[in-house]
Amino acid sequence: MSAGVQSAPAPFSPSRSQLAVAYSVCSGIARAAAKNFYYAFLVLPRPKRQALCSVYAFMRRCDDITDDPRLSLEERRRKLAEWLDGVHKALAGNPTDDPVLLALTDTQRRYKIPAMLLDQLAEGTAMDVQEELQQDSPRTPRPQVPRVPYRTFEDLRVYCYHVASVVGLVCIRIFGYRDPAAEPLAEQLGLAFQLTNIIRDVKEDASLGRIYLPEDDLIQFDVSPAELASAAGSARLRLLLAFEADRAREFYRAGEQLLPLVEEDSQPALWVLLSIYRRLLEKIAGRQFDVYREKIHLSAFEKLVILGKGWRNRLT
């Protein structure tokens, strides 16, 4: 056969044993790091649980690159680009021995996840790196306090879409759905989760030079960027966080509407995830938004209680 009529090589297809090992590695990553998400994974059928673990492992790799303190900001951006290049090659059918890529590629094909969504997930972590690069620009002195990158809530929403709403869009493809109304609801629920994280982590993020609260909201409650990294939150800051919590509660309502739209065997997992994050928000509110004394989280017992109810929902 002449070179001009040779058929293209078949896409790389890992063996069942290779995939089993790859999914096992991803499950270990999720079990060790996904402190809230993993509880929801447990009530899914095994194939869907493995698929979500592979997506989480992919996101974890992106986060680990962009948050690596041993690397300069330029090195982080370069490594993230190299990692994404490897992802694209694997999705295109090129051979790989990376267990995360093996599992992710199988998941992407099995559940028809648009590659664009995976790119957007990575772009979300890159947004933090890009912001820090701008602050570290040699042409402009680094400010004494972090710059507030998001002027309005709509500006913040663009960031939240990439790091959280896209996660929801990927998850519902694994959960299974038919009604297209599920997609905007998943986006809104992801936004609720991310706002909860922002409220909980406001002090930690500020100490890293990252401010996620919109400038308009800071001005409204007379809170300066410098206050966000202080040793104790002011009364004005607590009012601001209460305002953001009310905003998050509006988006949590989307989760209730989304539940009946996903496949029945996935509804308990979504219920567990929704319940854990909503309970976390109300625990923060119950402590009058005092997120500066200690990091507020749900105990393992509290999560297990929710998980137990999720198991009952699955069995009934």
DSSP string covering 250-298, please?
Answer: HHHHHHHHHGGGB-GGGHHHHHHHHHHHHHHHHHHHHTTT--SSS----
160 and 111 co-located in one domain: no
In a domain, 240, yes or no: yes
pLDDT at residue 4 tops 90 = no
pLDDT at residue 5 tops 80 = no
What is the chain's alpha carbon radius of gyration, rounded to the nearest angstrom?
21
In a domain, 1, yes or no: no
pLDDT of residue 12: 79
35 and 57 co-located in one domain: yes
Reported in sequence order, the residue ranges of the chain that DSSP labels E, i.e. its strands, are: none
217 and 302 co-located in one domain: yes
56 and 128 co-located in one domain: yes
pLDDT of residue 231: 61
Confidence of residue 1 (pLDDT cuts 50, 70, 90): very low
Domain boundary among 87, 120, 138: 138
159 and 81 co-located in one domain: no
Percent of the chain topping pLDDT 70: 89
214 and 267 co-located in one domain: yes
pLDDT of residue 139: 45
The stretch 56-70 carries a mean pLDDT of 91
The stretch 44-57 carries a mean pLDDT of 96
15 burial (CB, 10 Å; 0-12 / 13-18 / 19+) is: exposed
pLDDT at residue 2 tops 60 = no
The stretch 39-61 carries a mean pLDDT of 94
Using one digit for the tens of pLDDT, what is the confidence trace for 77-127?
A: 899 999 999 999 999 999 999 999 999 999 999 999 999 999 998 888 778
**Token output for 241:** 């966080």
pLDDT of residue 140: 47
More reliable by pLDDT, 10 or 220: 220
120 and 229 co-located in one domain: no
In a domain, 288, yes or no: yes
165 and 190 co-located in one domain: yes
The stretch 231-260 carries a mean pLDDT of 92
How many helices (H) and strands (E) in the chain?
A: 15, 0
Domain housing 53: 15-138
176 and 254 co-located in one domain: yes
How much is the pTM?
Answer: 0.87
Confidence of residue 314 (pLDDT cuts 50, 70, 90): low
126 and 264 co-located in one domain: no
pLDDT at residue 7 tops 80 = no
pLDDT of residue 141: 44
The stretch 135-160 carries a mean pLDDT of 74
Q: Are 26 and 54 in contact (CB under 8 A)?
A: yes
In a domain, 4, yes or no: no
In a domain, 5, yes or no: no
Using one digit for the tens of pLDDT, what is the confidence trace for 274-311?
A: 999 999 999 999 999 999 888 899 998 999 999 998 87
d(C-alpha 261, C-alpha 165), whole Å = 17
pLDDT of residue 228: 87
pLDDT of residue 138: 46
Domain boundary among 120, 138, 156: 138
The stretch 218-222 carries a mean pLDDT of 96
192 and 170 co-located in one domain: yes
The domain total for the chain is 2
Domain boundary among 100, 119, 138: 138
pLDDT at residue 137 tops 70 = no
In a domain, 259, yes or no: yes
**For the domain that residue 226 is a member of, what is the CATH number?**
1.10.600.10
pLDDT of residue 3: 47
In a domain, 6, yes or no: no
Q: What is the separation of C-alpha 60 from the centre of its chain, rounded to a whole number of angstroms?
A: 9
The stretch 123-137 carries a mean pLDDT of 64
In a domain, 9, yes or no: no
266 and 186 co-located in one domain: yes
Q: Are 79 and 71 in contact (CB under 8 A)?
A: yes
